Amino acid sequence: MKQLHKQSSANHTPSTQTTPPYSPKTLKHPRSLPRSINYILKEQRLLFILVGILIGSTFFIIQPTLSRLSPSDSHSSIPRSFSLSNRESLSNPYQVSKNYGDANKAVARIPVGIGRKRLRIVVTGGAGFVGSHLVDKLLARGDDVIVIDNFFTGRKENVMHHFGNPRFELIRHDVVEPILLEVDQIYHLACPASPVHYKYNPVKTIISLTNVMGTLNMLGLAKRIGAKFLLTSTSEVYGDPLEHPQKETYWGHVNPIGVRSCYDEGKRTAETLTMDYHRGAGVEVRIARIFNTYGPRMCLDDGRVVSNFVAQAIRKQPLTVYGDGKQTRSFQYVSDLVDGLVALMEGEHVGPFNLGNPGEFTMLELAEVVKETIDSSATIEFKPNTADDPHKRKPDISKAKELLNWEPKKSLREGLPLMVADFRNRILNDDEGKGNK
């Protein structure tokens, strides 16, 4: 019993555990260099970094030298490609389709960030006479172009050579209806500009195309998206002028109830709307007052004097002179006008600016130039003058010379043969002129 009691007592006695004495963690010796620098210095990592820097520097030094030594693809060829494309597209429109692809290749060789910013531009009336030449120039310089046209006076044939160009888009649309686009610039050319066309439906001319709805819709678009807007107005805002030559400060002498007033007053109202949007809504606008223009792609029978004379001479018909033939006009070639429109849009001045050739010709003098160019045996037929026909028309372009650095370069005798070649090709091939021979 004693042994059991002693054994149980021994079992209940707590065991004594030996706890090792506290030993604090040994402190590391402080390093003399930060960990990142120490990491770089170990295992020759610094050497590899220096070698990498040397290789990269060598590449950036040698690469420009190699590009200068590359044969035939030097950057100096790019301006020549563009200037050739411009000249061919403006002077001979039927060669554009062969060359715009080369211009695209030239653009592709320009390193990113070096060239000018590519703009997205809409041209209303872009399938028309002036509009199609403007489209040629804008595409040739590398912009994206959207053409809006209802084909009342425009022709698909004027822009067909761009159908394979990814930077070109054609929309059949009447500007009397609103349209939503995202663009940087708006060239508003949509309007019938010849007497035959704008007198065909004078109410539509003044209300929709020229004046209220068309210009209003394009100005509204410019306001919403912050685009720059250019209005192509006309020398007709001066009416039958009492000032000669006409300056932009001249307010005009217009018959508000005459047969031409749908066009004259319509364009005057379009200028008013444009300036009101500029002053009231802060829209950046430009206004061009275009004087008589001629060149390839004009409508064959639009009633304008140059196209009338050329078409009649080719068809062996008498040249029709209205009145005594002493009324004067000034004629600019279409490429000069296009250069002026682009200079105005890219400039800093609102306008209005006269864009025309100050060389002045009577109708009889013009008829003689046409005869010299086409058929010296052509005859002249006199008819009564039309109502409200201006007696004199000549632009004062001193403002455009000073502020836009622009003036026309091609004389009538230089430009007329280019137009004659186009008209002869279309008339002899029954294009548009069928039934008028």
For the chain, how are helix, strand and coil distributed in percent, rounded to 5?
A: 45, 15, 40
How many distinct structural domains can be found in the chain? 1
| Nearest alpha carbon to residue 292 among 370, 233, 234 | 234
On whether residue 124 sits in a domain, the answer given is: yes
What is the per-residue pLDDT across 237-290, written as a single tens digit (0 to 9) for each? 898 888 989 999 999 888 788 777 777 788 888 999 999 999 999 999 999 999
Beta bridge mates, 230 = 187, 286
- Per-residue model confidence (pLDDT) at position 51: 80
Question: Residues 100, 263, 277, 333: which is the catalytic one?
Answer: 263
Q: Is 333 a catalytic residue?
A: no
Give me the tens of pLDDT residue by residue for the chain, a chain 437 residues long. 444 444 444 444 444 445 555 455 455 555 555 666 666 666 666 777 788 888 878 877 776 555 544 444 433 333 333 333 443 444 444 444 444 444 444 444 444 445 678 999 999 999 999 999 999 999 999 999 999 999 888 899 999 999 999 999 999 999 888 999 999 999 999 887 655 555 455 665 555 555 678 899 999 999 999 999 999 998 888 988 889 899 999 998 887 887 777 777 888 889 999 999 999 999 999 999 999 999 999 988 778 899 999 999 999 999 999 989 999 999 999 999 999 999 999 999 998 999 999 999 999 999 999 999 999 999 999 998 887 678 888 999 999 999 999 999 999 999 999 999 999 999 988 644 444 44
| Nearest alpha carbon to residue 418 among 328, 298, 291, 317 | 298
CA distance 66 to 62: 6
On whether residue 179 sits in a domain, the answer given is: yes
On whether residue 134 sits in a domain, the answer given is: yes
On whether residue 125 sits in a domain, the answer given is: yes
On whether residue 378 sits in a domain, the answer given is: no
Q: How many CB atoms lie within 10 A of CB 6?
A: 10
On whether residue 373 sits in a domain, the answer given is: no
- 3-class DSSP state of 52: helix
Helices vs. strands in the chain: H and E counts, helices first? 15, 13
CA distance 352 to 399: 9
On whether residue 4 sits in a domain, the answer given is: no
On whether residue 101 sits in a domain, the answer given is: yes
pTM reported for the whole predicted model: 0.72
Contact 375, 312 (CB under 8 A): no
Which CATH number is 172's domain given?
3.40.50.720
Domain of 196 in residue numbering reads as: 79-106+115-294+332-358+394-410
CA distance 28 to 357: 91
